[in-house]
């Protein structure tokens, strides 16, 4: 877990107590399960794609694969999302998009994730099909309909418009705010 230190150092020290307090208020056991995450995010009534996306986010953050997100994983995830370097974020996006874990992302995987993100954020500015088409037109230079991690990272870095679009779509700040806010709004009349 020593690899997380540089990310943890990026977070201001006075914020650490704040993050820990909020984490422990939401999860007194010190662990967040997938069910608890979905409850925090108020996932009731979401589409299957949105539900699947949250599953994928959870399993991506559950770095040790034990079925829980502990405080270190939580802080590493927040640090990555808020302050991570471009390559770190792109690797995380790729892992999230690669739903079947075969080391490549195809158009269906990408479209499914973008639909899910739109369902969660309730932002439907650009149809997912258009986003996927644009990405594959610019990045899939071999035209094989799949992207490897290397193609994805180099393509996104070479095309600032795609990088910008990915950054905006993958901005999970609102999800983090829901987690941080916790159940406060439920207790407010």
Rounded CA-CA distance 165/35 in Å is 30
**pLDDT of 7 above 50:** no
Q: Please list, in sequence order, all residues whose beta carbon lies within 8 angstroms of the beta carbon of residue 171, skipping any fewer than 6 positions away.
A: 81
pLDDT at 178: 59
Q: Please list, in sequence order, all residues whose beta carbon lies within 8 angstroms of the beta carbon of residue 6, skipping any fewer than 6 positions away.
A: none
13-181 has which fold?
Recoverin; domain 1 (1.10.238)
- Answer with the residue of higher pLDDT: 64 or 188: 64
Q: Which of 69, 89, 75 is nearest to 149 (CA)?
A: 89
Percentage of the chain modeled with pLDDT above 90:
11
pLDDT at 175: 62
pLDDT at 54: 80
For 82-125, write each residue's pLDDT tens digit.
Answer: 677 888 888 888 888 888 889 999 999 888 888 877 777 677 78
- Answer with the residue of higher pLDDT: 50 or 102: 102
For 169-187, write each residue's pLDDT tens digit.
Answer: 776 666 666 555 553 444 4
Question: How distant is the alpha carbon of residue 105 from its chain centre?
Answer: 16
pLDDT at 5: 42
Please compute Rg for the chain using Cα positions: 17
Q: What is the mean pLDDT of residues 26-51?
A: 78
Domain boundaries, the chain: 13-181
Inter-residue contact 30 to 166 (CB < 8 Å)? no
pLDDT at 185: 43
């Amino acid at each position: 877990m020593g690899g997380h230190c540089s990310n943890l150092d990026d977070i201001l020290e006075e914020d650490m107590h704040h993050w820990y307090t909020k984490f422990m208020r939401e999860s007194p056991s010190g662990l967040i399960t997938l069910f608890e995450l979905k409850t925090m995010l108020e996932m009731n009534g979401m589409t299957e794609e949105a539900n699947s996306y949250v599953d994928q986010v959870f399993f991506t953050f559950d770095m040790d694969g034990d079925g829980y997100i502990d405080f270190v994983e939580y802080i590493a995830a927040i640090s990555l999302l808020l302050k991570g370097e471009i390559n770190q974020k792109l690797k995380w996006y790729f892992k999230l998009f690669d739903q079947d874990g075969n080391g490549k992302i195809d158009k269906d995987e990408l479209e499914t994730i973008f639909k899910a993100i739109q369902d969660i954020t309730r932002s439907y500015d650009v149809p997912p099909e258009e986003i996927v088409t644009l990405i594959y037109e610019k990045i899939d230079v071999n035209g094989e309909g799949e992207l490897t991690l290397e193609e994805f990272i180099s393509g996104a870095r070479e095309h600032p418009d795609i990088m910008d679009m990915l950054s905006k779509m993958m901005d999970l700040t609102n999800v983090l705010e829901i987690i941080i806010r916790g159940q406060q709004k439920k207790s407010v009349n």
